Every structure is written in structure tokens, then in C-alpha cells.
Amino acid sequence: MISIGNNITMMGDLLQRIELRTVCDAVRNPNSEMQARIRQLRLLRDIDEKKYSAAKRTLPYIVCGMFASGIRRSDDFSYTEYFIIDIDHISDKSMEIEQVRAKIVSDDRVAACFISPGGDGLKVFFKFQERCYDKGLYSRFYKIFVHQFAQEKGITQVVDMKTCDVTRACFVSHDPNVYFNSVSSTIRLEDFVDIIDVDAQNTLLQEVEKCISNLPEKKEMKQSPEKSEMDKIRATLNPELAKKKENRPPAFVPEILNDIIGGLKEHIEMKGILVKEIRDIQYGKKLSMALGIKESEINLFYGKKGFSVVKTPRTGTDSELNDLMADIVNEYINSMYVFDLPNIQRPQISASALPS
């Protein structure tokens, strides 16, 4: 098992356990919204590296480690069964990504391999023969293994050897040709790390770290011609259009929706579903939610006929999760008639009617 999270930028983001095979299946055939997001990221990477890096962090992410609190924190590390090697900036070194992939997947120790969200790297997974419970031991092993693996495959210039802690994460991607090997050869820690002879290990680590420190730093992407052209076009836009957009009045939201939205959010999150965003819309609230790598969007309105729960048909949302979320929202609204919720009027409920 490995772990998956929804929002790496959110403190306390709870991880869920997931099989590596399930992740590979999702990478091979993600929903249409995820495919669109990955396409946009790959275009953005060629235009603006910094914006790409920020946008990438909105994707669901994978961590090999298991954590006692369910949160990706080094102090809460319990154990890991897998580890990831990150290969990136392949084209910068005049290499072909499919040739590099072919070298890697020919190794029977590789459990999985897929193209990174940016399209110019690979995420490579390996499985330990036995769980590793010691984060210090893991770090020592990782540096030695990755150095040897990179030398064997002739890819030292494109392998990240510096990030070696148990909280290492990678982001989900889209790769129709994802590689998965359910019977990969497992890795024995003892074959790389002599747990007893610490002095010998420290000497080896010093040699590895010296090699790592001599590697060239990853170069920063320069502003592309396309970016320059877009800036020129943007400068020709009518500034009055932007002013009109800024002066647009805010959406009218009935007060009852503001009263109940906090309790509704708690009700949803108690069921293990992440509420990513709540946005004001005319006569209502738009709720964006996620369960693992599936996403849902629901509009909750209030008008003359009472409450209306509307599933939005936005591309990329999961229809089954949309149905479930509509049921959960309706469940909470109906509970207002069963439980004594303070300061809430008791209006009628309409399951489908839009506000008039």
C-alpha cells in the first residue's frame, strides 16, 4: 500500500491508503477533467516554469510512506513498503524520454513507472522486501541505491538524488502507457545498507554525497517567445473591460445559506470527503469536493420554493460522486427538520426546482 492526498499545500491534509495498481489504473485512464488539467500543465511548463510549479501543486499527490496521524509529517512516520525515484528534465540533457523509460522498465525490480505531470520526467516505483520502519535508515539506503541505479542506467544527470526523506511526494499524472509490474523483484535494505558496520556506511555515504554535490544545478526556464507574445497581446486589451469586471456587483446569497454553510461543510467532511472550495453564486453556493482522485460539484440554491440541490454537469466531475454528494447535502437539509438547529428558519425543500 501507498498513500494519496488531495491538497499538498493544506496543513493537516489527510492521506488515504491506496494500492499502487489502483494509482496506475487512474494514471492510465483518468477522468476527462484530469486529462485536461495535465494537458494544460504541460503547455504551461513550456511557457512559465514558475507558474507550472505552482499549478502542479494543485494535483492529488502520492506518498509511499505510512504515517500514524494520517498526515505527511516526518515525526509521524510509521513505515514504508515502497519508494520513488524522480527523473526529470530529460530533454534538457538531449535524451529521449521513451529511450530512458525503456532502460528503466527492463529492470525487473521496477514495480511501476509513469510520465510526470510536466511530460519531461518519469516517476519510478520500487518495493521493499520487508517494510522499512526507520526514517534514518531509509535516507541512507535511498542515497546509495539511487546513486548506484543512476550509474547503472547512465542517467545520473537527470535523477534527483537530493530528496531522500520519507515524506517525499509525487503528483498524479496522465500516461496511457504507464508501466506496472505486479511481480517485480523486491529490494532488500541489507543489500545496500550494512546496519551493523556504521563506519563503513558513513564512508560510502560521504562518497555518494560528494558525487551528488558535484552534479550541476537544474537550470531555470527562461521566458519563452510565446510568453513574450502573450504579454504584447495582453497590453492591447481594452482596460475598460477589466474595470467593468472589477465593478460587477457581488452575487446575492440568501442569508439562510450563509447560516447553514458552516454546518454543511462539517457534515460533508465528517464523511471523509474534502471540501475544496465554497463559492457564492446568484441565489446560492457552489461546492467543489473531492474523494481521492474523483471530483464533484454541487450548487445549493434557495428561493421561493425553498432549497434546491443541483448537480453540475461540469466536465471532469464524477457522476456517481455527484449523486452521492447531492444525497449528502439533502440529508443535511432534511436534518434541519429533525434536529433543533439554532437560528435557522424552517423553509420548504425542493430537490430540483431552481430559485425563481
Q: According to CATH, where is 3.30.310.240 located in the chain? A: 255-335
| Tens-binned pLDDT, residue by residue, of the chain (356 aa) | 999 999 998 888 999 999 999 999 999 999 988 999 899 899 888 888 888 988 899 999 999 999 999 999 999 999 999 999 999 999 999 999 999 999 999 999 999 999 999 999 999 999 999 999 999 999 999 999 999 999 999 999 999 888 889 999 999 999 999 999 999 999 999 999 875 555 555 555 556 566 555 555 555 444 444 556 666 676 666 666 656 556 667 889 999 899 888 889 888 888 778 888 999 998 899 999 888 778 899 999 998 888 899 988 777 888 899 999 999 998 888 876 433 334 444 444 444 433 33
pLDDT at 350: 44
pLDDT at 343: 40
Task: Give 8's Cβ-side CA count (13 Å radius).
Answer: 19
* Burial category of 238 from C-beta neighbours within 10 Å (exposed 0-12, middle 13-18, buried 19 and up): exposed
Q: Give the helix ranges, DSSP H, for the chain.
A: 20-28, 32-47, 49-56, 97-105, 135-153, 198-213, 225-235, 239-246, 255-269, 319-335
Top CATH class of 255-335 equals alpha beta
Q: How far does Cα 339 stand from its chain's mean position?
A: 37
Q: What is the pLDDT of residues 120-140, one digit of tens each?
A: 999 999 999 999 999 999 999
Give, as one character, the DSSP assignment of residue 190. Answer: G
pTM over 0.85: no
Q: What is the pLDDT of residues 189-235, one digit of tens each?
A: 999 987 555 555 555 555 656 655 555 555 544 444 455 666 667 66
pLDDT at 266: 85
Angstrom distance (rounded) from CA 89 to CA 87: 7
